[in-house]
C-alpha cells in the first residue's frame, strides 16, 4: 500500500501565542488542582489563571505592536490581523474580570477557571477563523464551557434552569449554523473563506418567484441566512434572543459578566469578517436581512428593558439592544463601519463589564441583591460604588462626555455616511428609550435608603480596583476619544483582511 506523504502543517506558534498561553494555563490549573484538597488553594489558582490571561494579553499586545500582522497560519484557516487582536484583548479583559469576580465566590473551583479559559480560547479562535470548519469548532468550544458555567450554582434552581435553557437553545441554533455552513460548503466546494467568497461571487441572485438559475443561488441564500441565524443567536439578535434574560438572571453573575461581553465580541468579530470577506461579493441581500434584524433587535431590546425589576435581566435586554447597534453597523459593510463597530464594542465592554462587576459586588451572591430596589440609597452606603455605577449607566445611556457617547456617535456617523438613514433613526430612537431604562436604577441609587435594608457585603480589594479602573477608563475614553480612535483607525487602515481576501 502506498500512502501519500503527509506534510505536517507549518504553524507559526508566535501568532497563536495568546491562545497557547491560555491553553497551557488551563492544563496547569487542572494538574495543580490534582494535588490540592477540593476547597484549598482556590485563591492561588485564580491568581494563576489571572496571570495566564495577562501573559496572553501581553503577547497579544506584542503582536499588535509588531510587524507580523496581518498573517495567516494553519494553512490559511486562521487569520491574525489587528481586528482579531483588538477583539482578543477585549475578550481577555472579560475573562480576567470573570476570574477576579469568582475568586471569592461559591462558584470558584479549578473547573470554573479552566472552563472560563477554554471558552475564551474558543472566542479568540472564532474572531480569527477563516475557515468554515474552524468557525464551527470555535463556536462549539466557546459555547460548551458556557453551558456548564451557567450551572455553576447547583444549589440554585434558576442556575440549573439557565444552563438547561441555554444548552437546549444553543444546540438548536448550532444545528442551523452547521446546516448553513454545510450549504455554503456545498455551493463552493471548499471550506476556506477565500474559496467560499470566490464561489459566491460567481453565483447570481435568484428568487423562487424571479428569474435566473435557482439551484445554487437558492442554496447560497439559505446558507447565508442560516449562518446569520446561528451567529445571531450568539449575538442575541431578535428573534433569537429569548434565552438572554433568563440565562442572565439565573447564571452566576461572574459568568454573565464574561459571556455578555465575550460572546458578543466573538460573534461580532466573525460576522464582521464574513461580511467583509464573503457577503459583500455575493448577490444575496444580506444588507436587507441584517437591517431587518437590527431594527427588530434595537426596538425589542429597548422596549422590553423598560419594565424590568431585575438588574441582570435589565442588562440582558440592554445587551440585546446593543447587539442591535452592532448588527446595524455591519450593514454598511465598509471598513470604516467595522472600525466604528469595534470602537463601540470596546466602550460597551468597558461599561458593561463595570456594571456587572458592581452588581456582582453589591449582590454578594444573593438573589435579592440583583433586584433594582436593592440599589435604593446605594450612594449613602457606598458612595464610590454608586458613583462608578452611575458612570457606567450614564455611559450606557450615551450621555456625553462618557465613552458610550462616542461609541454611539461613531456608529451614527458610519450609518449616515453609508446612507442607512432608517437604521440611524432606529439607533436614535433606541437611545432615547434607554434613557428611561437606565434612569430608573440611577434614580434608585441616589434616593434615600430604606432604613431596614441589610448592610452591603464588603468588596474585595481586587474587585474594587477593577471597578475603579473601568470607571476611570470610561471617563478617560470619553474625555480623550482620540486615543482609541487612533487604535481603531489602525484596525481599519490595515484592514481586516487586506492581502487575504483579495479585495
Partner 1 sequence: MHSVIVLALVFPALGALVAAWLGPRLSHRQITWIGVGAVALSFLVAVAAFVRLASLPPAHRLIQDTLFIWNRAGATPIHFSLLVDPISILFMLVITGVGALIHLYSAGYMDDDEGFGRFFWQMNLFIVAMLLLVMAGNFFFLLVGWAGVGLASYFLIGFWYTRPTAVAAAKKAFVVNVVGDVALTLAIFLLFVNLGHVSYQTVFRQFAILPIATRDLVAALLFVAAAAKSAQFPLHIWLPDAMEGPTPVSALIHAATMVTAGVYLVARAFPIFGLAPGVATTIAWIGGFTALFAATIAIAQDDIKRVLAYSTVSQLGYMFMAVGTAAYAAGVFHFLTHAFFKALLFLAAGSVIHALSGEQDMWKMGGLRRAIPLTAATFLVGTLAISGIPPFAGFFSKDEILGGLLSGGQVGLWAIGTVAAGLTAFYMFRLYFVVFGGSARTKSHAHESPAVMTVPLVVLAVLSTVGGFLVLPGGYNLIESWLLPALSRFGPIPPLPPPTNWGAMAVALVVALAGVGSAWALYGRKAPAVEPLHGPVYRFLKGKWYIDELGDWLIVRPVLWLGSVLERFDRKALDSGFNQIGHLVAGWGESLRPTQSGYVRRYALSFAVGVMLVVAFLSLRP
Partner 2 sequence: MLTLYLPIVIYFTISLLVCFGIMGASRVIGRPKRQQSVAKLQPYESGIVPEVQLGPKFSIKFYLVAMLFLIFDVEAVSFYPWAVLMRQLRLYGLAEMGLFILVLGIGYAYVWKRGGFQWDR
Return the biggest CA–CA distance within the chain: 84
**Would you count residue 176 as binding partner 1 (CB under 8 A)?**
yes
Q: Is the dihedral of CA 278, 297, 445, 358 positive or negative?
A: negative
Residue from 110, 250, 333, 354 binding partner 2 (CB under 8 A): 110
**Coil, strand or helix at 78:** strand
Strands 78-80 and 71-73, by their bridges, are: antiparallel
**Would you count residue 294 as binding partner 1 (CB under 8 A)?**
no
Residue from 101, 221, 353, 418 binding partner 1 (CB under 8 A): 221
**Would you count residue 158 as binding partner 1 (CB under 8 A)?**
no
Distance of CA 88 to the CA centre of its chain: 10
Of 273, 286, 277, 172, the closest CA to residue 225 belongs to 286
Of 125, 63, 71, 85, the closest CA to residue 491 belongs to 85
Of residues 60 through 79, those in contact with partner 1 by CB under 8 A are: none
Stretch binding partner 1 (CB under 8 A), from 139-147, 206-214, 325-333, 336-344: 206-214
Q: How many residues bind partner 1 (CB under 8 A)?
A: 49
Return the axis-axis angle of helices 215-235 and 132-150, rounded to nearest 10°: 30
Closer CB to partner 1, 250 or 252, in the complex: 250
**Coil, strand or helix at 209:** coil
**Would you count residue 133 as binding partner 2 (CB under 8 A)?**
no
CB 184 within 8 A of CB 132: yes
Place of cell 440565562: 247
Residue from 21, 33, 45, 46 binding partner 2 (CB under 8 A): 33
Closer CB to partner 2, 29 or 55, in the complex: 29
Stretch binding partner 1 (CB under 8 A), from 49-57, 252-260, 286-294, 462-470: 286-294
Residue from 10, 13, 34, 461 binding partner 2 (CB under 8 A): 34
Residue from 106, 288, 454, 499 binding partner 1 (CB under 8 A): 288
Residue from 13, 38, 67, 155 binding partner 2 (CB under 8 A): 38
Closer CB to partner 2, 33 or 64, in the complex: 33
DSSP state of 448: P
255: CB partners within 8 A, 6+ apart: 98, 107, 116, 146, 149, 150, 152
264: CB partners within 8 A, 6+ apart: 234, 235, 236, 319, 322, 323, 326, 345, 348
Binding-site partner at residue 30 among partner 2, partner 1, none, CB < 5 to 8 Å by type: partner 2
Of 207, 343, 355, the closest CA to residue 265 belongs to 343
Binding-site partner at residue 33 among partner 2, partner 1, none, CB < 5 to 8 Å by type: partner 2
**Would you count residue 461 as binding partner 2 (CB under 8 A)?**
no
Residue from 151, 226, 427, 500 binding partner 1 (CB under 8 A): 226
* Residue 88: burial class (beta carbons within 10 Å; 0-12, 13-18, 19+): buried
What is the number of H-type helices and E-type strands within the chain?
A: 19, 2
Binding-site partner at residue 289 among partner 2, partner 1, none, CB < 5 to 8 Å by type: partner 1
Binding-site partner at residue 271 among partner 2, partner 1, none, CB < 5 to 8 Å by type: none
Residue from 165, 198, 447, 487 binding partner 1 (CB under 8 A): 165
Closer CB to partner 1, 192 or 216, in the complex: 216
Stretch binding partner 2 (CB under 8 A), from 27-35, 261-269, 273-281, 385-393: 27-35
Closer CB to partner 1, 97 or 337, in the complex: 337
Closer CB to partner 1, 74 or 311, in the complex: 311
CB 299 within 8 A of CB 360: no
Burial 451-472 (b: 16+ CB within 10 A, else e): eeeeebeebeebbbebbeebbe
**Coil, strand or helix at 71:** strand
**Would you count residue 172 as binding partner 1 (CB under 8 A)?**
yes
Place of cell 452606603: 381
**Would you count residue 400 as binding partner 1 (CB under 8 A)?**
no
Residues 246 and 249: their CA atoms lie apart, in Å, by 5
**Would you count residue 160 as binding partner 1 (CB under 8 A)?**
no
**Would you count residue 233 as binding partner 1 (CB under 8 A)?**
yes
Q: Which three cell numbers stand for residue 87?
A: 477583539
**Would you count residue 483 as binding partner 1 (CB under 8 A)?**
yes
CB 315 within 8 A of CB 248: yes
Residue from 71, 201, 292, 476 binding partner 1 (CB under 8 A): 292
Residue from 40, 75, 202, 207 binding partner 1 (CB under 8 A): 207
Place of cell 437590527: 294
Closer CB to partner 2, 125 or 265, in the complex: 125
Closer CB to partner 2, 144 or 402, in the complex: 144
Of 262, 312, 250, 257, the closest CA to residue 98 belongs to 257
**Would you count residue 13 as binding partner 2 (CB under 8 A)?**
no
Residue from 39, 155, 189, 208 binding partner 2 (CB under 8 A): 208
Residues that bind partner 1 (CB under 8 A): 164-165, 168-169, 172-173, 176, 206-210, 218, 221-222, 224-226, 228-229, 233, 238-240, 242-243, 245-246, 284-285, 288-289, 292, 300, 303-307, 406, 433, 436, 480-483, 485-486, 489
Residues that bind partner 2 (CB under 8 A): 3, 5-6, 8, 27, 30-31, 33-34, 38, 110-111, 208, 214
Amino acid at each position: 500500500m502506498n500512502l501519500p506523504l503527509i506534510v505536517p502543517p507549518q504553524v507559526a506558534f508566535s501568532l497563536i501565542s495568546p491562545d497557547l498561553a491560555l491553553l497551557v494555563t488551563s492544563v496547569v490549573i487542572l494538574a495543580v488542582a490534582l494535588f490540592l484538597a477540593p476547597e484549598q488553594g482556590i485563591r492561588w489558582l485564580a491568581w494563576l489563571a489571572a496571570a495566564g490571561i495577562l501573559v496572553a494579553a501581553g503577547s497579544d499586545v506584542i503582536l499588535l505592536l509588531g510587524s507580523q500582522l496581518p498573517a495567516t497560519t494553519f494553512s490559511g484557516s486562521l487569520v491574525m490581523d489587528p481586528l482579531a487582536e483588538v477583539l482578543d484583548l477585549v475578550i481577555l479583559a472579560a475573562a480576567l474580570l470573570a476570574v477576579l469576580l469568582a475568586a471569592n465566590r461559591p462558584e470558584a473551583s479549578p473547573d470554573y477557571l479552566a472552563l472560563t479559559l477554554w471558552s475564551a480560547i474558543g472566542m479568540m479562535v472564532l474572531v480569527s477563523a477563516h475557515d468554515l470548519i474552524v468557525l464551527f469548532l470555535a463556536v462549539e468550544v466557546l459555547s460548551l464551557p458556557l453551558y456548564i458555567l451557567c450551572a455553576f450554582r447547583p444549589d440554585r434552581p434558576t442556575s440549573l434552569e439557565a444552563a438547561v435553557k441555554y444548552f437546549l437553545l444553543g444546540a438548536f441554533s448550532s444545528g442551523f449554523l452547521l446546516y448553513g455552513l454545510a450549504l455554503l460548503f456545498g455551493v463552493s466546494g471548499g471550506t476556506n473563506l477565500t474559496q467560499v467568497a470566490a464561489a459566491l461571487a460567481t453565483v447570481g441572485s435568484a428568487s423562487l418567484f424571479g428569474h435566473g438559475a435557482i439551484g445554487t443561488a437558492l442554496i447560497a441564500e439559505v446558507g447565508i441566512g442560516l449562518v446569520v441565524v446561528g451567529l445571531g443567536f450568539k449575538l442575541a439578535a431578535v428573534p433569537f434572543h429569548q434565552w438572554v434574560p433568563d440565562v442572565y438572571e439565573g447564571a452566576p453573575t461572574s459568568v454573565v459578566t464574561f459571556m455578555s461581553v465575550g460572546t458578543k465580541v466573538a460573534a461580532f468579530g466573525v460576522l464582521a469578517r464574513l461580511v467583509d470577506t464573503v457577503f459583500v461579493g455575493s448577490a444575496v441581500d444580506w444588507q436587507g436581512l441584517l437591517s431587518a434584524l437590527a431594527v427588530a433587535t434595537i426596538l425589542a431590546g429597548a422596549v422590553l428593558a423598560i419594565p424590568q425589576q431585575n438588574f441582570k435581566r435589565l442588562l440582558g435586554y440592554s445587551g440585546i439592544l446593543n447587539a442591535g447597534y452592532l448588527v446595524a453597523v455591519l450593514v454598511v459593510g465598509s471598513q470604516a463601519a467595522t472600525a466604528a463597530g469595534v470602537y463601540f464594542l470596546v466602550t460597551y465592554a468597558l461599561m458593561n463589564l463595570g456594571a456587572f462587576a458592581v452588581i456582582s459586588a453589591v449582590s454578594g451572591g444573593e438573589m435579592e441583591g440583583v433586584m433594582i430596589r436593592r440599589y435604593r440609597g446605594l450612594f449613602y452606603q457606598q458612595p464610590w460604588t454608586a458613583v462608578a455605577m452611575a458612570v457606567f449607566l450614564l455611559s450606557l445611556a450615551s450621555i456625553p462626555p462618557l465613552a458610550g457617547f462616542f461609541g454611539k456617535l461613531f456608529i451614527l456617523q458610519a450609518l449616515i455616511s453609508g446612507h442607512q438613514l432608517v437604521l440611524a433613526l432606529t439607533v436614535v430612537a433606541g437611545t432615547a428609550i434607554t434613557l428611561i431604562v437606565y434612569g430608573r436604577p440611577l434614580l434608585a441609587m441616589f434616593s434615600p435608603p430604606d432604613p431596614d435594608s441589610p448592610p452591603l457585603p464588603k468588596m474585595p480589594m481586587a474587585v474594587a480596583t477593577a471597578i475603579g479602573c473601568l470607571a476611570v477608563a470610561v471617563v478617560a475614553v470619553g474625555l480623550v476619544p482620540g486615543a482609541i480612535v487612533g487604535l481603531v483607525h489602525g484596525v481599519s487602515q490595515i484592514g481586516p483582511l487586506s492581502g487575504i481576501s483579495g479585495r
